[in-house]
Structures are given as structure tokens and as C-alpha cells.
Structure 1
């Protein structure tokens, strides 16, 4: 069951592209249009059966243009545009705030807006990750990029070292909890409120840190 949209896709593009210049906003709009065309195909006929030529045709672009935005079909699934949004929100949080509380505040409100529009695409994405070991393996590598971004933010903010094992473990725990929660949500056909689930997951992580 899909939530009723709170914002249209243009609103999400504005949210994601708020700190971007005109050229980058245009790229973001094209990238999201390509991904939307791809995910419609994935939902209709499956990931494996969908070709890049079909996606390009649906998006009214050439295959060469497709490859300028996505090097492979797998990149449609494993990459999104949300990390810059999370990074910007985290940098705005107080320096003395705990990692879990900073992530909670930085993540939840944008997520509500994103899921209102991208609910079905996120569900399709997770189903592909569940069913396709190759895509899932590449997604694990992509999560390392998010880990590095979070590590850099908290090191810069708190003067901690990238070699700080406690910080690295906390970030790894957050990412694992987030992925497990989204996986749980997808396995239940996206019928739960994912924001509520993630709040529960972060509570569980915070309790673990305090024991």
C-alpha cells in the first residue's frame, strides 16, 4: 500500500538540489527521470528482463546519454541522491550532540518527504537487492561510500580521528541497522511506516551504546 504523496517529484528535486547550481539541478532532474523510467520497467517486467535500450527509449534519451549518468544498469539500483542531503543536515547539527541523535534529527524529516514520493521505487530497489546477489554485493561497496562520508563529518565536527575505532563501530552499527530496517520494511511489502521503523532501530542502537 503506497502512502499518498505529500510532495510531487519536482518538490523532491527542489529538496535534493537546494544547494546545487543550475547545471547540477538539471543533471539531477535528468538523472531522476532516467531512474523513474527504469524503475517503472523493473516493476512491470523485472530487473533482468529490462534493457538499457528500453530505459533510454522510455526516458526519451540516447543510450550514450544513459551511460553518462549511470555507468551500468546496476548503478540505477545501488546509487541514489540522498547522501548530500544527509551530509548537509548533519553539518547543521550541534557539535556536542551524540551521533545517534544527530542522525535521527538529520535523517527523519527529509526521509518523510522522500518516501512520500519514492515509496514504490524504494520498494522495487530493495526487492532487486534481495533477489540479485550481484547487485547486492555492489550495494555493500556503495555503503562504504556512505560510511566514509559519515566518518568525515563526525571527525571534522568533533575533532576525532578517522582511526577512532569506537566512532567507526558506531557508524557501522547505524548503517547496518538502517539497511536491516529497510530490508524488513521491503519484506513486509512496504506497508509499515518506514520512519517509525527507523526510529525504533535507532532507539535500539542507542540502547546498545549506553549499556
Structure 2
């Protein structure tokens, strides 16, 4: 005679094909804690003593071990709010941590938003590992590091914005309204005049600012002797 009896653990796996499940609230968010059905514990480590208290698998959302592991770190906003697609019974943002393709990239902890309407769809984002997310957070102590998603390699790389180049004519105009104006005011107050070198410097700066000089690549050095 063939023994057709199954162990309790086998019966559980038949009734609950995934190890982890969560209940779905009326507003289609994940109810915490979640169930480790095979281990008969919840995600807080408490034993499940009444199997009848667990809804049928068809009423729950199945979770992966990786998703349950991500529940161990609370969102920066202080509370989980994990949205569920009611039709498919899956998490709207299954990977929790994401960045977009911007330069630099914007980052999202998608499980911590009270309203996800402003969040891009997960298909428009790039999933990040917990380590990638944490590395970016840890950089805050020295100035938050910018990153960009490298589409060629499918990885997150550090990004440094290119230096802002101020047009030479604008530099010259600032020199006239700033340092030169200050020297002229001082010379007038002291009853002195600009030296020949200073006068030549002022003319050179005016030529750059006015667009007459279009060949210079930098401002000339300030003269050593200014007033006489």
C-alpha cells in the first residue's frame, strides 16, 4: 500500500507555493508584518501558532526572500507604505530602491512614500541593490555623492558635474565693476592717478568686455603698480 500522507511542511508548500506572503489592505498597500508561512513565523520573528489565522494564498501577495530582507531597514521617511497592484497582486515597485536616468540621477526609496502618484513607474527606473543605496546615503557626511546610470554597462557610476565655464567677456565685465572700480575709487580718494601699466590693463579689459578683443583666452595679469 502506498503511503499518501504528507508532512505538515509539505502540505503548507502545497497550499502556499511561496514561502513569504503579505496581506493586502483596503487601500492596496502591504500590511506588516508579513508571513514566513513555511517557517511558521512572521517577519518580526514571532511564532504563528494558528494556521487558520493566515488567509488563503489567493488572498495574499507573494513575496520573495529578497523583498522580505529589504523590510529590515526602515525608510528615511519613517514608515513603510508599500503599494500593491490589485489586479496582479504584486508590488508596484518590487525592488524598493531605484534611481532614474537623469544626470545626475534622482534616487527613490519607493517603499516610503505616502503617495506614489509622483513616483515614476518602475519600468522607467533602474533598480538598485541595498549596497548601492547605502553607499549613496553614507556619502552624505562628506557631501552627497552624485551618480549617473551608465546605460552601456547597466551600472551606477559616480558623477562629477563639469566645471562651469564663465565666458571671458563676462569675466572682464565683472573685473571692471569689481576690482577696477574699487581701485579707481581709492585713487580718487587719495588724489592719485593710475600708472601707465594700470591704464593699459583697464583698456585691455574694456576691449575684452566690449567684444573688440576676440582673440584673448584669459584676462591679462593685474599690474604690480596701480597708482602713482
TM bin, normalised by shorter chain, reads under 0.3
Which one has more relative contact order, counting CA pairs under 8 Å at least 6 apart?
Answer: 1
TM-score of the superposition, structure 2-length normalised?
Answer: 0.22
**What TM-score does the superposition give when structure 1 sets the normalisation length?**
0.24
Greater percentage in strand: 2
User: Which of the pair has more CA radius of gyration?
Assistant: 2
